[in-house]
Structure 1
């Protein structure tokens, strides 16, 4: 097949969406990815890579790290997932989605290798595997200086985890409970999967968190003879202040303190993500003997925008607070920051969750500051995972009943649900899923 238009590219990729939600044996899928990368010439090992795994904060840390690197003149490739707007968002250069033309050009170049895969013992790659292969291939061809790559799910068998270079920097963000059906039901089992991005002689950057998690990080780093750099958020991050426009904090590390660091992202947790990104950036720059200008660092942090991360928007005269928090850990952090920015306020919550989520652990964080909870639904088809459905709103309502919450409405139609939320006088919080956020953005654009 010849890719001539972006529509051709979308149609081609959609033909590789798995027909079932059962992903098969993870080790076989990973072997398939490695074989695919070999056919492409192993571009991932020709690149300087910063690889980010974790449960919460991966995307933010990727964006912040990329911004810092670009502020010092480096050309930065960034791979993220899922996307909010369209597939181009997953492959970025200097924090901008690649063009449709570039996407089509390089997808067309790798199609012969995709077709070779079909004839191999591994069979055809998945949509996600093709996107990751395309990302590394494109970044190599475009000669970027450094790649910041976010894992998809887990780490050990993730398609992104094919970089074997000893100079890779492995970054571990906060680890918690999510995707337990794939990663296990304990922090230990989840951490074991995620720390497997660490390769021999890598540099590992993280921060102090749950003891079970730290044990796995330290064990894997030791096993792989990797250098471990870590800080303690409680000790090293001080004086966090939040407003509707920015987060400000002090960060002390290695006997040096940077006071009043300002970032345009909102949330106490963004101080943690920023500190982790700063440490990652400094490590990369030091490894390559490049000078750091703190004036450029500070300036760049003031202009970061990440879709769906505690984003405040005006819509028809109403204030919308949009956040893609989709597990208990993320929702707890989001609500903690929300009530600090808006003390003593109640909100209209417009929520929906992807089918299969542990939404009871999410809901218990919402009820404290909800005037009314409007439960809706979404149907998302553009993530390369087939049809993504939201949980039945009535089931979510039943959980709220068990939590003795009565102030909720079920409005399955998303357009009607948004209109219903707009009828209230309170500020509107839209949260529960990045897939929901993507559908909301489509509505807001109409």
Structure 2
């Protein structure tokens, strides 16, 4: 790949010649349209046009994945061919402009008349272009430094009940979770600045509890306050977290948008916990939307430090293979020359029993392992829930089966008995 070009790879479905569709895609997203226009000189096309550099033909299918009025009006029928297409785009067409980058690699492509399916799978950047965007303010190393966890998984949980607790009740719960031995505590994505627990009250109350715990134990627990809102409000809330001695804020990426997250990143060096709620709307159809490989590139360019990947054997629709690949993406440098790795955040149905499958799949402990029910619903209470997860990970890393390790661990044994039949 040339230094002045970046690549995007797509999965498409079409009843037409995939190579010709690839050319349509390249033209549509650069200097062209469906026909040559006035002023579109050969020199301009050479400088600014995207080019299809690879077309790999895949299977044919007997019915289209999506309806298409453009094809129907022309009486075009199947068979429908699938192909993987890689297109190179000139860096100069975009510059360091994340919103425009997203518009170019995705944008109108999803509406093209020539396709009955199109999915953006990956984005590859040359090192010089990657350096034009911000690096994570904290990333893996900074998150470990801020939490004091030098090695091993970071064990986290979520404030539950999700909504309804007052600021004082939330602070009391956070105090209990700190005492339970957690490294990380986060708000739920649906609880940001509610009337019953506004951030102006909740942040000082929670951080007072965190500071008291730190004074007693020396342990600094990271709390990710959900500051999802319009941009100016998020900046105000982040400033309050900073003044109160906090280390992390959380935002719902899809609903805040690239520009808001970029502005927030420039205004604070707090760890930015990127919650991907709504991602399923972009990703669940195999022939439509954006895969996590491309999705995480865009948000890492915005400057997030943590990315949600769901969890193995979890409660959501994603297959374990997708979760594994997503976690690997997070800890893979985007362009190979700088450490821009971010912390993969595992959640959804996680408990001590999912540690072995997680470690077997990814082979490292650079991750945030969050359990709601696995901590809060443990028969021995939250402290036992945290202990069961730590003991499960310790046993897993040393190659010991959980059933064997549970013989010397009441907390782990209780977890296996309570949750093992899920």
TM-score where L is the length of structure 1: 0.27
Larger radius of gyration: 2
TM-score where L is the length of structure 2: 0.28
